[in-house]
Structure 1
């Protein structure tokens, strides 16, 4: 309550170094998923203000185009492109990333921001294999996009992957035995989302070990007032709306991780809150697992990729 609300942000921001964001991003390419609203749109806007070339990856063509126009008008930066992609469609994510690598010389930064919280258990219907939608979007889609874009990311020094996760993962212990919540009865969308976010943190840590040429990080935006929160967590929103951070405040650390030299100078694979490295486990929460289980998640994801892409 104290740290995640707007008062927590205002307290933490007193220690920010304003010069960290005085960065010229001209000539650099930034891909942001879910960039049509909320935190993703704020991230795209802040980087566009600094001259970066923006690749907006969005599911809805109408809202994506509207957001693109708003970003261009707000920043006077014409280098804003829209790519239409549903992150829960595993095959489409893979094909998009492969084509992007083939058609673009380099990608400097990927921001994995898109996510969903569906409160009933639903399966994808992409014609290949049914996958639970929260897992398909938040975990598998993020995994496929990131790993398939690595050839473009590894073409430049100090390239980065930033993943927007959630503090909700702090109460979740990684469970590799029920990745798609087939045993979760009754189904709980909030718990599924938090488990997905724990998976993202583990993925970030594992990627940092596997790919030392890319800087990986993940961050918790705090409790921010976004369209996703209003839609997926209406009761929480009504209770907390006067205390929620703005979307801009929620996006701040992701922007900092994406562009500042201070961030990329820190160790890869860390979890951040308000521009500071924080622990991925709460004291006495009993959420730690073995390295073997963490590696088991990556192996399971790799096997799923082979299945859904018919490799």
Structure 2
């Protein structure tokens, strides 16, 4: 079954996720959607010092938005901030040094941020694909800790700031790779069998889409969306998927193409006319399952995921 899914997905990817797929989709974009003045609006972007996160931060700063860059490495974050400020002539760019894989740090950061800041838009962009099973200092598998639990804790902890804001939104950068995976709630931290980093990552990305759907039903005063940026030529793809990158390099999207739908979901009025909780690709809501792939999960399985995350999140809450 998974071979069938992977084959169908790869053909779909060659058609849609590449640079030519973006160019075909972009013919239908409305340029005016992104002609917005964001002064007075505040955006938090995780993983904002490179790749899609940096491209998104630049676009938001260019339009006058206040940008909160959440990054793990201070040196790289400061260098990215300087570049964003120089290009945008916007001084309202702030660096916060936080490790998304550390649950306790996330709680500490988010709880202090909420006390002194309003937040209009959270963009959950940070992610990792670690190909060997690695455990954090808190004893959590690293991909899961960063991509799923980190996203869950940060989003949950920032809800009070979002709920105080006008037109609040949460955009989570998932991946089309999740289409190859059915939710597996019995082994969230990949303790059984042979470890496969690509599969672990795709599982995490499936979990993010399910969380987005759940949050949309629970918090109707916030507009929620998840999205797939396509296959973009980022440093993360080069390091975590070197053979894929080498094969596909001439077909990959630019970082700006990958970031386009993130920006559109975060800033345009058109995005909030769409129902909350959907999964987007190239500014359009798309299916979260491939045809005949049997990847849909039951509400009981999804409940189990949310309960496991709640339990873990509370365990590390100060």
TM-score (ref. length: structure 2): 0.95
1:224 corresponding residue in structure 2: 232
Which whole-Å deviations, capped at 9, do the CAs of 1:87-131 have from their partners, x for residues lacking one?
000000011000000121x10000000000000111111xxx300
- Take 2:44 and 2:315, find their aligned partners in 1: how far apart are those partners? 26
Which whole-Å deviations, capped at 9, do the CAs of 1:181-227 have from their partners, x for residues lacking one?
001x2210000000000000000000001100111100000000000
- Take 2:42 and 2:66, find their aligned partners in 1: how far apart are those partners? 5
Question: 2:273 aligned with 1:260, yes or no?
Answer: no
Which whole-Å deviations, capped at 9, do the CAs of 1:256-295 have from their partners, x for residues lacking one?
0000000011100000000000000000111001112112
2:205 corresponding residue in structure 1: 197
Q: Which runs of 4+ in 1 moved over 4 A?
A: none
Contact 1:202 1:294 in 2 (8 A): yes
Question: 2:26 aligned with 1:13, yes or no?
Answer: yes
1:293 corresponding residue in structure 2: 301
RMSD over aligned Cα atoms: 0.7
Question: 2:140 aligned with 1:124, yes or no?
Answer: no
- Take 2:314 and 2:161, find their aligned partners in 1: how far apart are those partners? 21
Give the helix-richer structure, 1 or 2: 2
Structure 1: gaps spanning 5 or more residues: none
- Counting matched residue pairs gives 305
1:273 corresponding residue in structure 2: 281
Question: 2:143 aligned with 1:134, yes or no?
Answer: yes
1:210 corresponds to which of 215, 218, 221: 218
Contact 1:58 1:82 in 2 (8 A): yes
TM-score (ref. length: structure 1): 0.97
2:184 corresponding residue in structure 1: 175
- Take 1:289 and 1:141, find their aligned partners in 2: how far apart are those partners? 22
2:11 corresponding residue in structure 1: none
- Take 1:289 and 1:101, find their aligned partners in 2: how far apart are those partners? 34
Three-state SS of the structure 1 residue aligned to 2:202 is helix
C-alpha displacement at 1:157, in angstroms? 3.1
